[in-house]
Structure 1
Amino acid sequence: MATITAADVNKLRTATGAGMMDCKKALVEADGDFDLAIENLRKKGQKVAANRSDRESTEGAVIAVVNDAKTAGVVVSLNCETDFVGKNEGFVKLATDLAQLALNFDNKEAFLAADFNGLTVAEKLIEQTGVIGEKIEIGAFERLEGAFVGSYIHAGNKIATLVALSANVPGAEEAARNVAMQAAAMSPIALDEAGVDAATIEKEIEIAKDLLRQEGKPEAMLDNIAKGKLARFFKDNTLVNQDYIKDNKLSVAAYVKSLDKDLIVTGFRRAALG
């Protein structure tokens, strides 16, 4: 029987994030074999993950990161079950580290299969389920590329956004952040009218017509009035057409053009918990 020292327990605890008693038990069961003890903790995580597979993970941390060149970014959410865990400093750091790794991948599947300190990301999530005792999973994975990409994370890590501009002009970083903040606050459904799917447009027109009929408007007038209401829908719900939150005399598109007449917003991504 190997002698398990406090230093051994602390080393395993530092490496895995598991509780002290769990680490000691894993080392005893592994007869002091450090790698086997890690494997035992991972197996415990797999068991906990299986037991909690039907639980909702609607809390956590949403992180947006951009590469050094400011030409690509990702929004990743690390989800858990409780707000208490989601606010934990170690949990937020893990979410941030995972988001930094995610910058290297185009899709969630490749990211989950990527190496993260000797484990795949998917295995790390299972391990952390065992350590924390809650269902841990990657929720959102959104990637955006552009001539200039900026990001914004709302206080508390509940919402994060990315915005791409058509050029890296003076003031682009502040403008991209401001528009990303707009996307976080106003939750647009699309960049512009072209990005709204046909089913949504048809639904909005029908809603408008039904309301007009209830108001007693003549059937012959419904199409034209409904088109006006649809234009208002686009203004309220598409990013570039929304009133700019810091100056409602401007649309978001007009705000961006105030920096450079040719500058436009080319894309955005938004992820939120819940």
Structure 2
Amino acid sequence: MSATIPATLVRELRERTGVGLMECKTALAEADGDLERATTILREKGLASASKKMGRTASDGLVVSYIHGGGKIGVLLELNCETDFVARTDEFMSLARDIAMQVAAANPSYIRREEVPAEVLEKERGILIAQVESSGKPAKIIEQIVQGRLEKFFSDVCLQEQPFIKAPEVKVGDRIKEVIAKVGENVVIRRFCRYQLGERVECQA
């Protein structure tokens, strides 16, 4: 089937995904020439490959700044990758700016859920249990409801769990995986600091 794939379709898929010509041709053959299916195939393969790269050391990267609201909110963000070459690509620089904008808009308290202190988590769980119990829900589903609300808590306070501002259907962490798949290196949010006029500054690292 691959020999019958038009070169124009292969080029269009490459422009859309940034993946090499041979990989695009193979994906289109697998998808019987369906551009959308081929895009999905490449995305799934890329995310699987990205997951393998996420354990690698990332010590290069950029520090970016973002000012919002006429100088009322400012963000400094350090985004790391493995090499200076990738740090200077449009894909990486765009991601760094987008995440800094995300911090300004969504005001996360932590980078990832593993960083939420145990005492904060237990306090939140206790509040949620009390809320659910007071609503008269059956005891057997209380824990299930509480767990679901904890997931919402994580999506509110953890940067990587938040809906990505430019594509709310994906999380920030998923957007990072997409970039890892494209640039071929691990990408890590190292730390950020959000300043809001008149408020106490708290930085996350």
TM-score calculated relative to the size of structure 2: 0.61
Q: How does 1:78-97 map to 2 (within 5 A)?
A: 78-97=79-98
Deviates more, 1:85-94 or 1:66-75: 85-94
- What is residue 144 of structure 1 aligned with on the other side? 195
Q: Is the 8 A contact 2:92 2:179 kept in 1?
A: no
Q: Which of 186, 198, 203 lines up with 1:135 in the alignment?
A: 186
Shift in Å at residue 140 of structure 1?
1.8
- What is the CA–CA distance in structure 2 between the aligned matches of 1:56 and 1:86, rounded to whole Å? 14
Shift in Å at residue 84 of structure 1?
1.4
- What is the CA–CA distance in structure 1 between the aligned matches of 2:159 and 2:204, rounded to whole Å? 21
- What is residue 106 of structure 1 aligned with on the other side? 107
Deviations 1:160-192 (CA, angstroms, capped at 9, x unpaired): xxxx8xxxxxxxxxxxxxxxxxxxxxxxxxxxx
Q: How does 1:9-48 map to 2 (within 5 A)?
A: 9-48=10-49
- What is the CA–CA distance in structure 2 between the aligned matches of 1:21 and 1:62, rounded to whole Å? 35
Deviations 1:12-55 (CA, angstroms, capped at 9, x unpaired): 33333333333332222222233322322222223222322321
Higher RCO (CA-CA < 8 Å; seq separation 6+): 2
- What is the CA–CA distance in structure 2 between the aligned matches of 1:128 and 1:68, rounded to whole Å? 28
- What is the CA–CA distance in structure 1 between the aligned matches of 2:59 and 2:180, rounded to whole Å? 15
2:177 is aligned with 1:126? yes
- What is the CA–CA distance in structure 2 between the aligned matches of 1:32 and 1:121, rounded to whole Å? 31
Deviations 1:215-273 (CA, angstroms, capped at 9, x unpaired): xxxxxxxxxxxxxxxxxxxxxxxxxxxxxxxxxxxxxxxxxxxxxxxxxxx758698xx
Q: Unaligned stretches of 5+ in structure 2?
A: 112-157
- What is the CA–CA distance in structure 2 between the aligned matches of 1:33 and 1:18, rounded to whole Å? 16
| Amino acid in structure 1 at the alignment position of 2:179 | Q
| Amino acid in structure 1 at the alignment position of 2:92 | F
- What is the CA–CA distance in structure 1 between the aligned matches of 2:184 and 2:192, rounded to whole Å? 23
Check 1:270–1:34 CA distance in 2 against 1; reply closer, same or farther (3 A cut). same
TM-score calculated relative to the size of structure 1: 0.48
- What is the CA–CA distance in structure 2 between the aligned matches of 1:100 and 1:123, rounded to whole Å? 17
Q: Is the 8 A contact 1:75 1:99 kept in 2?
A: yes
Q: Is the 8 A contact 2:66 2:75 kept in 1?
A: yes
- What is the CA–CA distance in structure 2 between the aligned matches of 1:104 and 1:122, rounded to whole Å? 16
| Amino acid in structure 2 at the alignment position of 1:114 | P
Q: Is the 8 A contact 1:105 1:111 kept in 2?
A: no
Pairwise CA RMSD: 2.9
Q: Is the 8 A contact 2:60 2:87 kept in 1?
A: yes
Shift in Å at residue 76 of structure 1?
2.5
- What is the CA–CA distance in structure 2 between the aligned matches of 1:8 and 1:98, rounded to whole Å? 32
Q: Unaligned stretches of 5+ in structure 1?
A: 148-163, 165-265
Q: Which has the higher helix share?
A: 2
Shift in Å at residue 59 of structure 1?
1.2
- What is residue 78 of structure 2 aligned with on the other side? 77
- Tell me the matched-pair count: 154
- What is residue 137 of structure 2 aligned with on the other side? none
| Amino acid in structure 2 at the alignment position of 1:40 | I
Shift in Å at residue 73 of structure 1?
1.9
- What is the CA–CA distance in structure 2 between the aligned matches of 1:5 and 1:38, rounded to whole Å? 16
Q: Is the 8 A contact 2:58 2:186 kept in 1?
A: yes
| Amino acid in structure 2 at the alignment position of 1:144 | Y
Q: Is the 8 A contact 1:64 1:73 kept in 2?
A: yes
Q: How does 1:209-228 map to 2 (within 5 A)?
A: none
- What is residue 204 of structure 1 aligned with on the other side? none
Deviates more, 1:54-63 or 1:31-40: 31-40
Shift in Å at residue 5 of structure 1?
2.9
Check 1:47–1:267 CA distance in 2 against 1; reply closer, same or farther (3 A cut). closer
